[in-house]
């Protein structure tokens, strides 16, 4: 078979249901190999960065490897932002990228790039296949590396002439999943320490999500009476309505930060590498704080802080081993402490009335909480608007929140389209600012083409308001370069074949949302928000005033 057909066959063998692609002449042999393959659907995107964002969003909403196919040079560089995001977010992704012919390599041929150098610092593995008979071996290893240990992106360079060369290419089976089991002695020590602690706290990251440990995590928290925090933008790792849920380590939640860094006398970290955002600039674990870390990848253990007990294990297997241990006697003092923490979290995430000259973000969040089904999937772009859904929306269903910890603009709409393709039975809502939508909102055309009905909410304040916030905080009254002159987003949504709606007052949002939910296809709701309100707790004027007063 052709080398390109072998690549397509390997992707099918891995059980991949969707490939996100911008077609290019360098990889048309792979596309030809995907013709007449009902089990693996090729999704044609409008830009390679969006295709890669879709692959990343697909991985986050399914906990499986996302696959993206782009052409050489400019196609690869367009996709690089999402590769950086996938590395940062520990999302399994395989990027298939075309390359110039083998006889032209190293001669600055048209659109040639050295992918090893270009992607080397943001991918788990970068490899080039120069012999078509090596395709199955390299492809299966690439998928294995992408999803094992700490998941992440793998880049495979595919020279065009290799893809178009015919050879005898025997297929090989995909790698079995690698799930390290915990040391029983360390599990016993962990349980003993939890039982002896006065205020133990369990911090959960995406490692538990990729392990599929939703129910085991609930059982563990209940059996051993331990409250649960979720790491930055991982709110859907544990049911938010559960009495043991005490919040997310977002930058705005001072309660959870104090709890993790000061109050807890034992911190148990499960599937979290303790990134800068989660720890508030590496403010915890503090020196001398008792600290246990469980991670499937030994390289994550002690990356930013050295634990007293280190358990290299798959999160689900570690929890299952712990659940075999004897449960301690009920601690009524700890139970009341957990209930108090859960109550404080409920209060923190309940929207308060906040008058605005335009539409109140608090009112929008309250309406969303009331109207969205329990299993709805929420995706958010980067921007100041994102602080409201991150704080006020609650998640009681696994794999229901997709948001970039990297802080890159653009993934909101592409992630929503990918999530809808992966879960056609679930409602998917994308949240984007006016700036972010204009970077990747064209993928609403992809949504229409492939029948992925999504709701996009565009919060329009005519500017890059999160940057305006920093300007006012550092240089008050000197706003420059952050204002935008925008199109009519509701009409733009209609141009993409969606129902276009515009909300200018608080009382208009809920009826608009209900119309969007009942629409036959996608819908775009433009919400006119007030640029003065940049966070749920501060205005631009307040930030500028604090700076002028020297605070």
341 and 411 in a common domain = no
Query: Which residue would you say has higher pLDDT here, 407 or 181?
Result: 181
pLDDT, residue 264, reads 92
Q: Cβ neighbours of residue 484 under 8 Å, at least 6 residues apart?
A: 434, 435, 462, 463, 464
The rounded distance, in Å, linking the Cα atoms of 312 and 203 is: 16
What proportion of the chain, given as a percentage, has pLDDT over 90?
76
pLDDT, residue 304, reads 85
Average pLDDT over residues 503-524: 97
- For residue range 93-128, what is the model confidence (pLDDT) as tens digits? 999 999 887 787 877 777 778 899 889 999 999 999
546 band by pLDDT with thresholds 50, 70 and 90: low
pLDDT at residue 544 above 80? no
How big, in percent rounded to 5, are the helix, strand and coil portions of the chain? 40, 15, 40
pLDDT at residue 424 above 80? yes
292 and 143 in a common domain = no
- CATH number for the domain that contains residue 343: 3.40.50.1220
Domain that holds residue 498: 361-548
Radius of gyration in angstroms for the set of CA atoms belonging to the chain, rounded to a whole number: 24
Residue that finishes a domain, picked among 320, 348, 376: 348
The answer to the question of residue 201 being in a domain is: yes
329 and 379 in a common domain = no
235 and 148 in a common domain = no
pLDDT, residue 224, reads 96
pLDDT, residue 58, reads 97
372 and 344 in a common domain = no
Specify whether the CB–CB gap between 229 and 246 falls below 8 A.
Answer: yes
466 band by pLDDT with thresholds 50, 70 and 90: confident
Q: Cβ neighbours of residue 151 under 8 Å, at least 6 residues apart?
A: 59, 90, 91, 92, 210
The answer to the question of residue 441 being in a domain is: yes
pLDDT at residue 12 above 90? yes
pLDDT, residue 166, reads 97
The answer to the question of residue 406 being in a domain is: yes
The answer to the question of residue 176 being in a domain is: no
pLDDT, residue 535, reads 80
- For residue range 305-330, what is the model confidence (pLDDT) as tens digits? 899 999 999 999 999 999 999 988 88
Query: Which residue would you say has higher pLDDT here, 462 or 5?
Result: 5
The answer to the question of residue 317 being in a domain is: yes
**Range scoring the smallest mean pLDDT among 174-178, 391-395, 478-482, 488-492:** 478-482
pLDDT, residue 485, reads 85
Specify whether the CB–CB gap between 514 and 371 falls below 8 A.
Answer: yes
417 and 311 in a common domain = no
Residue 155: exposed, middle, or buried by beta-carbon count in 10 A (0-12, 13-18, 19+)? buried
Q: How many domains does the chain have?
A: 3
Sign of the four-CA dihedral 99, 104, 110, 111: positive
214 and 249 in a common domain = yes
- CATH number for the domain that contains residue 523: 3.40.50.970
- For residue range 188-208, what is the model confidence (pLDDT) as tens digits? 999 999 999 999 999 999 999
Specify whether the CB–CB gap between 416 and 453 falls below 8 A.
Answer: no
The answer to the question of residue 117 being in a domain is: yes
Q: What are residue 293's phi and psi, to 5 degrees?
A: -130, 130
**CA quadruple 469, 470, 473, 479: dihedral, nearest 10:** -70
122 and 51 in a common domain = yes
The answer to the question of residue 175 being in a domain is: no
pLDDT at residue 147 above 80? yes
Query: Which residue would you say has higher pLDDT here, 258 or 380?
Result: 380
Average pLDDT over residues 168-185: 94
199 and 235 in a common domain = yes
Distance of CA 357 to the CA centre of its chain: 33
pTM: 0.93
Residue that finishes a domain, picked among 301, 326, 348: 348
The answer to the question of residue 170 being in a domain is: no
219 and 115 in a common domain = no
What proportion of the chain, given as a percentage, has pLDDT over 70?
98
548 band by pLDDT with thresholds 50, 70 and 90: very low
pLDDT, residue 537, reads 79
Residue 281: exposed, middle, or buried by beta-carbon count in 10 A (0-12, 13-18, 19+)? exposed
377 and 522 in a common domain = yes
Residue that finishes a domain, picked among 296, 327, 348: 348
225 and 142 in a common domain = no
Average pLDDT over residues 496-501: 97
């Amino acid at each position: 078979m052709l080398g390109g057909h072998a690549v397509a066959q390997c992707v099918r063998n891995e059980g991949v249901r969707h490939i996100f692609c911008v077609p290019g002449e360098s990889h048309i042999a792979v596309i030809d190999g995907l013709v007449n393959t009902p089990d693996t659907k090729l999704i044609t995107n409008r830009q390679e960065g969006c295709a890669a964002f879709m692959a990343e969003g697909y991985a986050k909403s399914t906990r499986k490897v996302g696959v993206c196919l782009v052409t050489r040079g400019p196609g690869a560089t367009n996709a690089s932002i999402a590769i950086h995001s996938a590395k940062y977010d520990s999302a399994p992704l395989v990027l298939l990228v075309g390359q110039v012919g083998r006889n032209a390599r190293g001669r600055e041929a048209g659109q040639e790039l050295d992918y090893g150098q270009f992607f080397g610092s943001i991918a788990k593995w970068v490899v080039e296949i120069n012999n078509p008979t090596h395709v199955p071996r390299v492809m299966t290893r690439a998928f294995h590396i992408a999803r094992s240990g700490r998941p992440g992106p793998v880049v495979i360079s595919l020279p065009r002439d290799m893809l178009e060369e015919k050879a005898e290419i025997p297929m090989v089976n995909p790698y079995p999943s690698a799930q390290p089991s915990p040391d029983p002695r360390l599990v016993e020590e962990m349980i003993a320490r939890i039982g002896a602690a006065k205020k133990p706290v369990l911090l959960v990251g995406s490692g538990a999500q990729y392990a599929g440990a939703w129910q085991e995590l609930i059982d563990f928290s209940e059996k051993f009476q331990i409250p649960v925090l979720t790491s930055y933008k991982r709110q859907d790792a544990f049911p938010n309505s559960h009495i043991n849920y005490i919040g997310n380590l977002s930058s705005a939640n001072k309660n959870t930060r104090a709890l993790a860094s000061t109050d807890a006398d034992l911190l148990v970290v499960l599937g979290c590498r303790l990134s800068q955002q989660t720890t508030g600039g590496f403010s915890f674990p503090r020196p001398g704080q008792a600290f246990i870390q469980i991670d499937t990848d030994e390289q994550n253990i002690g990356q930013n802080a050295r634990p007293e007990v280190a358990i290299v294990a798959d999160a689900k297997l570690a929890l299952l081993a712990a659940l075999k241990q004897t449960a301690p006697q009920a601690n009524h003092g700890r139970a009341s402490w957990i209930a108090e923490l859960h109550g404080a979290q409920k209060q923190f995430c309940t929207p308060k009335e906040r008058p605005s000259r335009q539409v109140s973000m608090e009112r929008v969040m309250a309406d969303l909480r009331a109207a969205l089904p329990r299993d709805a999937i929420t995706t958010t772009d980067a921007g100041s608007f994102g602080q409201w859904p991150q704080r006020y929306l609650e998640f009681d269903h696994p794999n229901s929140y997709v948001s970039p910890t990297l802080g890159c603009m653009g993934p909101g709409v592409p992630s929503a389209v990918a999530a809808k393709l992966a879960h056609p039975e679930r409602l998917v809502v994308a949240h984007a600012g006016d700036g972010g939508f204009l970077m990747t909102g064209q993928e609403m055309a992809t949504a229409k083409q492939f029948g992925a009905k999504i709701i996009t909410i565009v919060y329009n304040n005519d500017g890059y308001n999160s940057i305006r916030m920093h300007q006012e905080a550092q240089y008050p009254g000197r706003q420059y370069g952050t204002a935008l002159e925008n199109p009519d987003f509701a009409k733009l949504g209609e141009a993409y074949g969606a129902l276009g709606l515009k909300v200018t007052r608080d009382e208009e949002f809920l009826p608009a949302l209900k119309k969007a939910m009942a629409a036959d296809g996608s819908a775009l709701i433009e919400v006119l928000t007030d640029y003065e309100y940049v966070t749920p707790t501060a205005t631009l004027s307040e930030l500028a005033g604090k700076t002028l007063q020297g605070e």
